[in-house]
Amino acid sequence: MTQTYNPPSDSCISEILQKVRFDADGLVAAIAQSATAPREVLMLAWMDEGALRETLTTGRVCYYSRSRQKLWRKGETSGQVQILVSAMLDCDGDAVLLHVAQQGVACHTGRRSCFYLSVTPDGLVENANPEIAPEKLYPKA
């Protein structure tokens, strides 16, 4: 069973954010990992201070979309939501690890994980098939 996220106070979140080393663009790498076995890495995305603050405050994972230049609440279009279980900051403060309860798939290709290409002596090999068609995740308006 996945534990429930207990958000820190606003003042504690502010202290946490001061420890994060955002890059020159104001972003930090965020790795989403399944909070349940087998705890696979689901995706890598980016967070700005607002996205990280919202995630830590609400428990619903929010990223920063570099292509759209705005906050991206995981699942707002696809319904494939990530609920925060716990978060960790690495030793240098320049990466965040999010343990999440993934609802549906994490990858826009319809796969559970974005890491579905294995490096082999023969080149890249797909190690997972889509669980859902991308056009079902993102229907045209």
Sequence ranges of the binding site for Zn(2+) = 91, 107, 114
Distance between CA atoms of 99 and 87, rounded to whole angstroms?
Answer: 6
User: Would you call the peptide bond into 38 cis, given omega within 30 degrees of 0 as the criterion?
Assistant: yes
Q: Which residues are annotated as a binding site?
A: 90-92, 94, 107, 114
Distance between CA atoms of 47 and 52, rounded to whole angstroms?
Answer: 6
Rounded to the nearest 5 percent, the helix, strand and coil shares of the chain are 15, 35, 50
Residue 30 near residue 96 (C-beta atoms within 8 A): yes
Question: What letter represents residue 105's amino acid?
Answer: V
Within 10 angstroms of residue 126's Cβ, the number of other Cβ atoms is 11
Q: Which residues are annotated as a binding site for Mg(2+)?
A: 90, 92, 94
Radius of gyration of the chain (CA): 16
